[in-house]
């Protein structure tokens, strides 16, 4: 387990996550502009969430296309 901690609007949040998932979360948040050493504005967290939501929607569409392709074989 790894601790992931960040500050948003002056409030410090810390969660414990499985190592592999923690690494993913850290990389994804960093790529969205989240800092683990300084305070973050709430809109940065919203952007990070929307980035993941877009990825998820894209993956769902791809999975549905693959299922349709397999069904037609």
Q: What is the DSSP string of 45-58?
A: HHHHHHHHHHHHHH
The whole-number pLDDT of residue 43 equals 95
Helix/strand/coil for 26: helix
- Profile the chain (73 residues) by mean pLDDT over runs of 10 residues: 96 97 95 95 94 93 94 89
The whole-number pLDDT of residue 55 equals 92
The whole-number pLDDT of residue 73 equals 85
- pTM, 2 dp: 0.77
Sheet holding 2-8, edge to edge: 11-17, 2-8, 39-40
């Amino acid at each position: 387990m790894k601790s992931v901690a960040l500050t948003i609007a002056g409030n410090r949040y810390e969660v414990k996550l499985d190592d592999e998932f923690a690494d993913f979360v850290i990389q994804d948040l960093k790529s969205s502009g989240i800092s683990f050493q300084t305070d973050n504005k709430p809109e940065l967290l919203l952007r990070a969430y929307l980035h993941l939501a877009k990825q998820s929607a894209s993956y769902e569409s791809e999975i549905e296309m693959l299922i349709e392709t397999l069904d037609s074989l």
